[in-house]
Amino acid sequence: MAGGETLLDVRGLTKVFGTLKACDGVDLDIARGEIHALLGENGAGKSTLVKMLFGSLEPNAGEIRWNGEPVRITSPSEARRLGIGMVFQHFSLFEALTAAENIALSLDAKTPISTIAAKAQALSYSYGLPLDPYALVGDLSVGERQRIEIIRCLLQTPQLVILDEPTSVLTPQEADKLFETLERLRGEGKSILYISHRLEEVKRMCDRATVLRHGKVVGHCDPRQETAASLARMMVGTEVHAVVRSVDEGAGTADVLLRVDHLNRAPATPFSIPLRDISLDVRAGEVIGIAGVAGNGQGEFFEAVSGEVLQDRAEAVSIRGKPAGRDGISGRRRMGAAFVPEERLGHGAAPAMKLSENLLLSRHATDPGVYVGAFGIVRGAAISAAAKRINQMMDVRKSAEDPPANALSGGNLQKFIIGRELDRQPSVMVVNQPTWGVDAGAAARIRQSLIELARSGSAVLVISQDLDELFEISDKIAVMHNGELSKPMPRAEATYEKVGLLMGGAEPGHVHHHDPAEMA
Amino acid sequence: MRLELVKRPQQSALFSALSPFIAFGLMVVAGGVIFLILGKDPVNGLYAYFIEPLTEVWSLHELAIKAAPLILIAVGLSVCFLSSNWNIGAEGQFTIGAIAGSAIPLYFPQFQNGAVLPMMLICGAIGGAAWAAIPAILKARFNTNEILTSLMLVYVAQLILDWLVRGPWRDPAAMSFPQAPAFHSWAIVPELMPMSGRANWGIVLAIVAAVAVWFMLSRTLKGFEVKVIGQSPRAGRFGGFSTARTIVFAFLVSGALAGLAGIVEVSGAIGRLQPQISPGYGFAAIIVAFLGRLNPLGIVAAGFVLALSYLGGEAAQIGIGVTDKTVRAFQGMLLFFVLACDTLIHYRVRLVRPAPAAPPAAAPVTETAHGHG
């Protein structure tokens, strides 16, 4: 528990990138048997700090003491040798290999697969995270994949486990299981550094918290003594405004701006999910949320609605009353729709291209004559001005005037990508994972802007794994499971339990439906 | 002790522009060392190689003649390479362009007026584009590897040329020499300054093409499409661009310019079709494209540098008695130094003290900044 023997003691750790001090004299100490939260906005220096602790980055100044001894952590394998393990936010598993094979890849010694499999299985059962070591990763759910990462980390018998946003991919039920495992690890005297933006979780589980802002430690606290609002205030530096959601007055009667009608799609690859007979109406003024565990067809659904993949029937997707199923993404944008995909780098933005060029990426077709003149000549001045406007509107923080997309932190890039679409006041907005890995301040801003867009008369469809988010902003919530979409439930009827059951694959019939039209 | 490359947060624009010049300087220094090792006076050797060809007017003309096809082809290749289409078959597109353009004076020898040459150039470009369309369509439709298909089509094109000049198109007046009849005067690309040397309008055409493609790539939506599809195809699709369309576009542009180079070479420098019409311009242009760092304006300069290395090689062979293989050595060193300079602009070298543990396992521990695209 807190106050015990100090395992890791960090003093004055500093990392400078060019002129930016990503970490500026950070102090942190973690006791044995403690769950220690690391909180901070995107770009606050959390990842940089963790990368220095795990040996992926070398500090410019400062000292790391491990069990009281000063150490230099020069590589991840050195970190593992000391007893530091890490579970990354984005999994690094090969889908075509089995769980045991994936684990074997990260072990330095040449142990036979069968030994690894046996050990992994024994360990997984002892921690209540049952795992079939011979299952192909491609067949596993996201929660099961995370178990592989955790087991892989625990097999190296670490004294300190670093978890980066571990619950952002889990159903509420799966998250509870993870918490039990963490409690057990704490009981065994292991220490955990827990990075999360879900303040409720931090309050529930963590013994102490260290809050970073702009690379500096702004406070250590006992999260149990704080409220979610006071924690958020420490992270952001100012009051975080709770998202305000007025009741949608025109619900159920306004025009349908986005209609999906009996949409089917065969799987494109062995690892993709077929879409089965999806129908959905999104009306002007409303936000509809689609919940679901990752990998249940959300990405495939987004590609179909956005027009990156065409439908056989034009009527399968209609935008503002016009059939759009045979139109590509540019055509659908011209009809008034805007899209924000899940993956920021490499899908929503070209990583090595500047922000201004990434503005052109989605806007060249929608604003005829504004950004592209006669003979296809690009109008640089107009684009720079628009990029500046968007960066100001969304408070995008960047190190240069017009940096490449991959130089921005995830949250700042997401603010830019969302702002790029909001800037044209689309009638229909489809967003996949709007605040994945985004800090509290930026997430609140993004959510509020989506609600405001809806209240100004647009139809907003949000696909998200974050239930808190969906309950915060949606007028109705539907659940996607295995390529099927449940009927949207009005916000007033939806509960975490109902949605969680549907996410886990319970029959839609178990949940009582009302016709949305009657709910007005 | 080991060396490590660390990405620089900001690349110097000044050094990006200077890089080819620094590379050239380094190549000259290294070349001097090589001459020294060969027992030649390095100053004389370098003078014969790089300066002497530039001191005489006629050899400046030769420089322009060699640079023109290299620039034309490499400019087209830059469009392909920027869109990640690896067209290795420019030599074949060059050959088919030469054949297609030559068909007009050969089949219509009575047709002699000012329209002949423009029609020949257009036919040459269409011929090259058609040849390039084969690997393009195969890739767009069946996802075949364009490196293999475009390269294999080079040999097919050369065999077609060989068959034509030995068979149906052989000049009956040339005894049994395998060559087509000489072009009539309307079918010859005019010389720029006939008083002083052979250089023809091909070099002007090459520079115009370079400026046009530079403008397309840097200022238009089409150029943006080419680059975004090349760098990040999924983001390009999100932007509403089609990968298949870009493949076909890049190959057609590249094939047309290579075909144009082919007909300009045959109707300008050579004056007739014969079995050998290129000293490997289509392959050397790949080096030119990368030396010019895929920027059409840089390619103009790079084209002259490579042309000079051909000329200087011939001169040094005669003047100071070194083997003609030095041409290859100099070209190789130049490429090496340019790539080295570019790397050092993007990365800096860091000396790392020895770490006790083994290097980390790559996949599981590195968080890449580039997502899965």
In this predicted structure, what is the pLDDT of residue A4? 64
If you write DSSP's letter for every residue of B51-76 in order, what string do you get?
IHHHHSHHHHHHHHHHHHHHHHHHHH
Q: Which residue among A94, A352, A400 places its CB closest to the CB of B231?
A: A352
Q: Are the Cβ atoms of B220 and A328 closer than 8 angstroms?
A: no
Residue in chain B closest to A19 (alpha carbons) equals B9
Tell me the chain B residues in contact with residue A378 when contact means C-beta distances shorter than 8 Å: 219-221, 224
Of chain B, the percentage scoring pLDDT greater than 90 comes to 61
Binding-face residues of B in 242-261 toward A, CB within 8 A: 242
Q: How far is CA A191 from the centre of its chain?
A: 25
What average pLDDT does range A427-431 have in this prediction? 97
Tell me the chain B residues in contact with residue A400 when contact means C-beta distances shorter than 8 Å: 10
CATH 3.40.50.300 range(s) for chain A read 6-236, 256-336+426-519
In this predicted structure, what is the pLDDT of residue A240? 60
Residue A519 reports pLDDT greater than 50: no
Q: Which CATH class is domain A256-336+426-519?
A: alpha beta
A230-259 pLDDT per residue, tens: 887 787 776 666 677 776 555 567 899 999
B279-315 pLDDT per residue, tens: 889 998 998 998 888 999 999 999 999 999 888 888 8
Neighbouring C-beta atoms of residue A228, cutoff 10 Å: 16
pLDDT band at B231 (very low <50, low <70, confident <90, very high): very high
Q: Are the Cβ atoms of B220 and A375 closer than 8 angstroms?
A: yes
Tell me the chain A residues in contact with residue B372 when contact means C-beta distances shorter than 8 Å: 343, 346
In this predicted structure, what is the pLDDT of residue B354? 59
CB contact set of A405 (below 8 Å; sequence gap of 6+): A344, A345, A349, A350, A351, A352, A353, A354, A355, A358, A413, A416
Residue A85 reports pLDDT greater than 50: yes
Closest by CA position to A428, among listed A306, A248, A304, A274 = A306
pLDDT band at A397 (very low <50, low <70, confident <90, very high): confident
pLDDT band at A5 (very low <50, low <70, confident <90, very high): confident
Residue in chain A closest to B233 (alpha carbons) equals A346
Strand partners, A287: A460
Residue in chain B closest to A107 (alpha carbons) equals B361
In this predicted structure, what is the pLDDT of residue A1? 42
Buried b (16+ CB within 10 A) or exposed e, A312-334: eeeebbbbbeebbbebbbebbbb
CB contact set of B53 (below 8 Å; sequence gap of 6+): B59, B60, B62, B63, B308, B311, B312, B315
Chain A contact for B239 (CB, 8 A cutoff): yes
* ipTM of the modeled complex: 0.81
pLDDT band at B50 (very low <50, low <70, confident <90, very high): confident
Residue A95 reports pLDDT greater than 60: yes
Q: Are the Cβ atoms of B10 and A18 closer than 8 angstroms?
A: yes
In this predicted structure, what is the pLDDT of residue A306? 96
In this predicted structure, what is the pLDDT of residue B71? 98
Q: Which helix (H) or strand (E) holds A462?
A: strand A459-463
What average pLDDT does range B258-277 have in this prediction? 95
A126-176 pLDDT per residue, tens: 887 788 888 888 777 777 888 888 888 888 889 999 998 787 667 777 788
Tell me the chain A residues in contact with residue B7 when contact means C-beta distances shorter than 8 Å: none
More confident of the two residues B144 and B39 = B144
Closest by CA position to A364, among listed A351, A378, A380 = A378
Tell me the chain A residues in contact with residue B360 when contact means C-beta distances shorter than 8 Å: 55, 75-77
Q: Are the Cβ atoms of A345 and B371 closer than 8 angstroms?
A: yes
Q: Which of A135-149, A284-298, A372-386 shows the lowest per-residue confidence on average (mean pLDDT)?
A: A135-149
Residue A419 reports pLDDT greater than 80: yes
Interface test with B, best of A19, A20, A92, A399 (most B CBs within 10 A): A92
Residue in chain B closest to A334 (alpha carbons) equals B240
What average pLDDT does range A397-424 have in this prediction? 89
Q: Are the Cβ atoms of A74 and B355 closer than 8 angstroms?
A: yes
What average pLDDT does range B201-210 have in this prediction? 96
Residue B259 reports pLDDT greater than 60: yes
What is chain A's mean pLDDT, rounded? Answer: 86
Chain A contact for B10 (CB, 8 A cutoff): yes
Q: Are the Cβ atoms of B366 and A353 closer than 8 angstroms?
A: no
**In CATH, A6-236 is 2.40.50.140:** no
pLDDT band at A510 (very low <50, low <70, confident <90, very high): very low
CA distance B296 to chain A (A): 18
Question: CB contacts < 8 Å between A and B, how many?
Answer: 137
Tell me the chain B residues in contact with residue A341 when contact means C-beta distances shorter than 8 Å: 238
In this predicted structure, what is the pLDDT of residue A507? 61
What average pLDDT does range A280-297 have in this prediction? 90
Q: Which residue among B237, B357, B370 places its CB closest to the CB of A81?
A: B357
The percent helix, strand, coil of chain A (3-state, each to 5) is 35, 25, 40
* Opening angle at CA A106, ends A103 and A111, nearest 5: 70
In this predicted structure, what is the pLDDT of residue A108? 65
Residue A437 reports pLDDT greater than 80: no
More confident of the two residues A411 and A478 = A478
Q: Which residue among A56, A329, A353 places its CB closest to the CB of B240?
A: A329
What average pLDDT does range B178-194 have in this prediction? 92
Strand partners, A280: A260
pLDDT band at B168 (very low <50, low <70, confident <90, very high): very high
What average pLDDT does range B124-130 have in this prediction? 98
More confident of the two residues A492 and A438 = A492
Chain B contact for A299 (CB, 8 A cutoff): no
- The answer to whether A375 touches B220, Cβ cutoff 8 Å, is yes
Q: Are the Cβ atoms of A376 and B10 closer than 8 angstroms?
A: no
In this predicted structure, what is the pLDDT of residue A109? 67
CA distance A348 to chain B (A): 6
Residue in chain A closest to B362 (alpha carbons) equals A106
Chain A contact for B366 (CB, 8 A cutoff): yes
